[in-house]
A and B are shown apart, each in its own frame.
Chain A
Amino acid sequence: MMDFSQDLVRGSVLPIILSLLREESMYGYQMVKKVNARTNGLLEWKEGTLYPALHRLEGAGLIASRWDSAGGKDGGRQRKYYSITPRGRRELEKRSEEWKLFSQAVNACLWGA
């Protein structure tokens, strides 16, 4: 497992959350598990930091939340599900484009490709 710098992790949280929610509505723990699975544990979040990020995104109107008991294993347990808003989708497109350009620029500098 690699220890990424905190700044790098913090900067990537927003596009990661938005891209996860682009596919389906999810609750916090589900997101953590999904990220861990997709990155093979490379990007292991401190789970607690996810919630302030979610609340910030919700406050900015990029995602919306609702309590629901559907979809849970045990059916009855209430969980807070987050879903992406149209504004969130636009923001995600913008951020993805930004990331692409940024990473290309950084790659060019580092390896001169």
Chain B
Amino acid sequence: MADNEPIHNKLIARLTDRLAGDPELQADVAHELQTHLEDAEEEFREAGLDDEKAQQEAVKAMGDPEEISQQLFQANRTRMRFRAVIRWTASLALLPAAMVVVAVLFYFMTGGGIFDDIDRLTTSIQSGQLGENAGPFHWSRQLSEEDIFVLQGDIKAGNSIEREKSISNRWPDDPVYYGNYFVAAVSRYYGKDGQLRASFLKKSMEMADHGEKVDPDNAFYNFIKAGWLIEASCMLEDDPSRQIESIDSDEKRKSISFYKITITDPVGFQQGIKELRRGLLKSFYSSRSLDMLELRLSLLPPPQSMADIISRVIMEVSALLPPMTSFRALGKILGAYAVDLAEAGDITAVELARSVEKMANLIGSESRTFIEILVALACRMNALASLELVGKELHNPTLSKNAFQERRQQGKFWRDLRDNSGMDRQELRKELRHAGMFWSVLMPGGVAGYRAEYEPLRTVECFVVLEIALLILLVGMVLLSCSFGLPILIWLISCRRSESRPILLFVGWRRIGRIVLISIVLPLVVYGLYVSWQIFRPDAYGLNHAMGRWMVELAIFLCAVFFLLLSTSYRAIHQRCEEIGVPVPPTITRRKRIGFLIAAGLVLLVCGTYIIGWWAGPFQLDDPKGEYWIPPLAFLTALIGRDSNHSKFLMDFFLVLVMLCFFIIWLLSEGVELFRRGRKAFRRTFIRSSMPILCSAVIVVGLAVGSVLSLGERCAAKRVTGNAAFGILSETERGGIRLLREKFLQWRREDGTQAAGSGEQAAGQR
């Protein structure tokens, strides 16, 4: 039939030349006429005519070319106009429309302050310090200028410390503002060993001196100065020659080493002791940073949206905690120093050890955070242990015995509180799985009878993850569209006048609908339902437990969306090209893809087994170390032979990596097909024509993300409102922590008389 082609082409070109304004329509009509001519010629040939005669007859049967050409133009004129508008929209307006949708979405999301919140959270987690007032504060309702200033400080200031400082500068006499700035600033001066860096000692001392002026009745500044000075002027180490009995368990009695010190700067050391004694004369203790948090929370109106709740929760989670390591060191060093004094026969050793106990009692009874109570407990333990040794050295067995009894009582009180909290440790461990990452960071496991609400925190963090997932999808779509858009732009510029300009195909509404339905709407609906089931079920898991699974599912979801989108678009364009007679690459048969299909099956099998196993149970390790990092592929972990948290995390990460690598390999291997010889026309048509499809997809994803988020936000907000105050502020008012604080109050009431009593005893003995 090759000989017929010149006549064919000539006739078809003549018939369709008036349609040249719409190359796709022209190609479509030409292809239709060509099939007609081929059918006709075949029939003539079957009737016995030779090739040449057959084609002449076929051409003749078509009728007058001029008349048909005119009629074809008339019949398609309206359609051409309509299609021109669509083409114009697709090539010019669709991209800006997609950009507008994305911009609007980003605007509303940033308007809610969520990005800042996420940024603030990740910054504080990365810096290892949940104590950052890291950025501008967003709130949906109008607040007064003064309130906003208290919430975020001077936003022009360079960093968070400067922002906190600006608040204190504006109200220089306010002890809460200064205390908050002080804690923020000195927290940065601590080294990794938990000790104030020597180069910052002078500056820190000056700041604490100023704090004492602003807040004269607060013992906090004196204690912290004492801690710095004493820590800087001696070296602390274990001393095996000083043995005390451990009170960790009633059954097993064993001895542990106490400490000894080497004083390197006696003047500084004595100055530190002086500061401690001055602090004990003060009427109260407060680190002020929690007061600041309370003040800030009280300024905020009741939360209206999820963004409000997230801001509030993040504010609580990232509350500044006082640097307690110096107090902890004070307990150890002064305990050891008291024993030194006693060894030298100095009876002031008793008073010194009692001073440490008093400090612990003051901190413990006035503390607002659990960490302060823990430090106070440890300090009191050290003080009592040192009193025991001091009693031995001063030949005062009563003192020694009483101190030991007190130490045992404290240990027993703590154990009782923990063991009789009405909660089995195993149960508690199980509960921790549901509590979420924020909660787990804030709440040490097995805390004496204290259980904070974790529901709001868990919902909030799951919502943030969902938000991140959808954003990744949207950003991915935008990147994909840009990666197609750029070559198109370059081409269009380079072949503005040339004939080889690629055709922009319209694959048809039905095909576009199918692409959007299969590759976007369905996966989004399925994923959305699955995620909301995960978040809102009563026994939902927290991110601390399920982070790895979330990551794997997210990777599957994203890869699936992009895979479906690209393959359905390719198929649609391939079909359309075939229809209009553009030479297309052969459809790849399943047999040719067998390797790829096996690999895909394997990857899906591993991921599917993992997820099913995760829910069904076998891959959830009951390893206590595994609380914070993810139950992984138990069998793979077992193969590696390690089960540390680290390797579990690596496992999940590995799985995600496999998914992504697989996706990229698929993309490259299929993409190579486009660049083979003779595929130029198809390649260019494909790339140019995918642009409108991708833009439509971006618009649909944008709208879906917007509606899913607003719907999800409403659901989540409804769930959180009402118990949003999970309560770092009130943690010392609740459960076992309240009982501990009350115990400290009791010890504090007693210590005045006891101290006087033991002092008299010591004097009497002398």
* Residues from chain B with Cβ under 8 Å of A49 in the complex: 63, 67-68, 71
Residue B210 at the A interface, CB < 8 A? no
Among residues of B, the one whose C-beta sits closest to the C-beta of A27 is B35
Q: Mark out the residues of chain B between 510 and 526 whose CB falls within 8 Å of any chain A CB in the assembled complex.
A: none
Q: Mark out the residues of chain A between 30 and 77 whose CB falls within 8 Å of any chain B CB in the assembled complex.
A: 46-49, 51-53, 55-56, 59, 67, 77
Instruction: Establish whether residues B35 and A55, one from each chain, have CB atoms under 8 Å apart when the complex forms.
Output: no
Select which of A28, A47, A59, A79 is within 8 A of B78 by beta carbon: A59
Instruction: Establish whether residues B39 and A52, one from each chain, have CB atoms under 8 Å apart when the complex forms.
Output: no
Instruction: Establish whether residues A78 and B579, one from each chain, have CB atoms under 8 Å apart when the complex forms.
Output: yes
Select which of B32, B40, B75 is within 8 A of A47 by beta carbon: B40
Q: Mark out the residues of chain B between 144 and 179 whose CB falls within 8 Å of any chain A CB in the assembled complex.
A: none
Instruction: Establish whether residues B36 and A55, one from each chain, have CB atoms under 8 Å apart when the complex forms.
Output: no
Question: Count the A residues whose beta carbon is within 8 Å of the partner chain — how many?
Answer: 18
Instruction: Establish whether residues A59 and B75, one from each chain, have CB atoms under 8 Å apart when the complex forms.
Output: yes
Known contacts A48-B65, A49-B63; 6 additional CB pairs below 8 A are A28-B36, A48-B62, A51-B75, A59-B75, A59-B78, A67-B578
* Residues from chain B with Cβ under 8 Å of A52 in the complex: 68, 71-72, 74-75
Instruction: Establish whether residues B15 and A48, one from each chain, have CB atoms under 8 Å apart when the complex forms.
Output: yes
Cα A79 to Cα B35 with chains together (Å): 7
Cα A79 to Cα B39 with chains together (Å): 10
Cα A46 to Cα B60 with chains together (Å): 9
Q: Mark out the residues of chain B between 66 and 122 whose CB falls within 8 Å of any chain A CB in the assembled complex.
A: 67-68, 71-72, 74-76, 78-79
Binary per-residue interface labels of chain B (537-577) against chain A in the complex, 1 for a CB within 8 Å, 0 otherwise = 00000000000000000000000000000000000000100
7 contacts between A and B (CB under 8 A): A29-B35, A48-B68, A52-B68, A55-B75, A55-B76, A56-B74, A59-B79
Residue B658 at the A interface, CB < 8 A? no
* Residues from chain A with Cβ under 8 Å of B32 in the complex: 28, 51, 80
Chain B, interface size category, equals 20 to 34
Residue B489 at the A interface, CB < 8 A? no
Residue B371 at the A interface, CB < 8 A? no
Among residues of B, the one whose C-beta sits closest to the C-beta of A80 is B32
* Residues from chain B with Cβ under 8 Å of A79 in the complex: 35
Residue B29 at the A interface, CB < 8 A? yes
A108 CB, min distance to chain B CBs, angstroms: 34
* Residues from chain B with Cβ under 8 Å of A48 in the complex: 15, 62-65, 67-68
Binary per-residue interface labels of chain B (27-40) against chain A in the complex, 1 for a CB within 8 Å, 0 otherwise = 01101110110111
Binding site for A on B (CB under 8 A): 15, 28-29, 31-33, 35-36, 38-40, 61-65, 67-68, 71-72, 74-76, 78-79, 575, 578-579
* Residues from chain B with Cβ under 8 Å of A80 in the complex: 28, 31-32, 35, 579
A69 CB, min distance to chain B CBs, angstroms: 9
* Residues from chain B with Cβ under 8 Å of A28 in the complex: 32, 36
Cα A68 to Cα B688 with chains together (Å): 24
A33 CB, min distance to chain B CBs, angstroms: 8
Binding site for B on A (CB under 8 A): 27-29, 46-49, 51-53, 55-56, 59, 67, 77-80
B25 CB, min distance to chain A CBs, angstroms: 9
Instruction: Establish whether residues B64 and A46, one from each chain, have CB atoms under 8 Å apart when the complex forms.
Output: yes
Q: Which 7 pairs show the lowest CB-CB distances between chains A and B?
A: A46-B63, A52-B71, A48-B62, A48-B68, A55-B75, A67-B579, A48-B63
Instruction: Establish whether residues A78 and B62, one from each chain, have CB atoms under 8 Å apart when the complex forms.
Output: no
B405 CB, min distance to chain A CBs, angstroms: 94
* Residues from chain B with Cβ under 8 Å of A53 in the complex: 75
Among residues of A, the one whose C-beta sits closest to the C-beta of B580 is A67
Cα A46 to Cα B68 with chains together (Å): 10
B615 CB, min distance to chain A CBs, angstroms: 44
B8 CB, min distance to chain A CBs, angstroms: 14
Instruction: Establish whether residues A51 and B74, one from each chain, have CB atoms under 8 Å apart when the complex forms.
Output: no
Task: Contacts A28-B36, A78-B35, A80-B32 given; indicate if A55 touches B72 (C-beta within 8 A).
Answer: yes
Cα A98 to Cα B63 with chains together (Å): 30
A1 CB, min distance to chain B CBs, angstroms: 13
Among residues of B, the one whose C-beta sits closest to the C-beta of A33 is B43
Task: Contacts A46-B62, A46-B63 given; indicate if A51 touches B79 (C-beta within 8 A).
Answer: no
Which of A48, A49, A59 has the most CB atoms of chain B within a 10 A radius of its CB? A48
* Residues from chain B with Cβ under 8 Å of A56 in the complex: 74-75
Cα A109 to Cα B453 with chains together (Å): 95
Cα A50 to Cα B653 with chains together (Å): 63
B608 CB, min distance to chain A CBs, angstroms: 36
Task: Contacts A49-B68, A59-B78 given; indicate if A78 touches B578 (C-beta within 8 A).
Answer: yes
Cα A59 to Cα B73 with chains together (Å): 12
* Residues from chain A with Cβ under 8 Å of B61 in the complex: 46-47
Instruction: Establish whether residues A47 and B36, one from each chain, have CB atoms under 8 Å apart when the complex forms.
Output: yes
Cα A29 to Cα B35 with chains together (Å): 9
Among residues of B, the one whose C-beta sits closest to the C-beta of A68 is B579
A49 CB, min distance to chain B CBs, angstroms: 6
B208 CB, min distance to chain A CBs, angstroms: 83
* Residues from chain A with Cβ under 8 Å of B75 in the complex: 51-53, 55-56, 59
Cα A78 to Cα B62 with chains together (Å): 20
B70 CB, min distance to chain A CBs, angstroms: 9
Task: Contacts A47-B62, A51-B72, A78-B578 given; indicate if A29 touches B79 (C-beta within 8 A).
Answer: no
* Residues from chain A with Cβ under 8 Å of B78 in the complex: 59
Instruction: Establish whether residues A51 and B29, one from each chain, have CB atoms under 8 Å apart when the complex forms.
Output: yes
Instruction: Establish whether residues A29 and B579, one from each chain, have CB atoms under 8 Å apart when the complex forms.
Output: no
Cα A67 to Cα B577 with chains together (Å): 11
* Residues from chain A with Cβ under 8 Å of B578 in the complex: 67, 78
Task: Contacts A55-B72, A55-B76, A55-B79 given; indicate if A29 touches B65 (C-beta within 8 A).
Answer: no
B35 CB, min distance to chain A CBs, angstroms: 5
Cα A79 to Cα B15 with chains together (Å): 18
A60 CB, min distance to chain B CBs, angstroms: 9
B548 CB, min distance to chain A CBs, angstroms: 47
Select which of B64, B65, B68 is within 8 A of A51 by beta carbon: B68
